[in-house]
Amino acid sequence: MNTWKSKRLNRWKKTRRKGRSYYVLKTTLIAAGSVLFGKTVGFILFDKVSTWLEFWFDFGLSTLVLLALGVGLGFVTWSASESWYRREINKQERST
């Protein structure tokens, strides 16, 4: 097996030990936090029309939507990574 694949398998093995809930929470916070940070910086630097009241309303709404999407994305990526991991483990077991 090539080293890239074995590194990826080992990394996913460590991620699996931490659990699906941890993974979903982590991916949700990273994705939502990145977008919200970019939205805030963009507002501060470039938006000269909206007020802070409008920004906070939009920020709150965006937070709710991004958290919901992040949880969904986290579960989908967990499932895809888990199915890949199981396929690779099954291949290894058949070849040995």
First to last CA, the chain: 12
The tokens for 84 are 């890949």
Over residues 68-83, mean pLDDT: 95
pLDDT over 90 (residue 49): no
**Which one is predicted more confidently, 3 or 80?**
80
Over residues 61-79, mean pLDDT: 96
Over residues 31-47, mean pLDDT: 94
Residue 48: what pLDDT? 81
**Rounded Cα gap, residues 83 and 43, in angstroms:** 40
**Rounded Cα gap, residues 40 and 26, in angstroms:** 21
Over residues 61-67, mean pLDDT: 96
pLDDT classification of 1: cutoffs 50, 70, 90: low
Considering the chain, what percentage of its residues have pLDDT values greater than 90?
80
User: In the predicted model, what is the mean pLDDT of the chain?
Assistant: 92
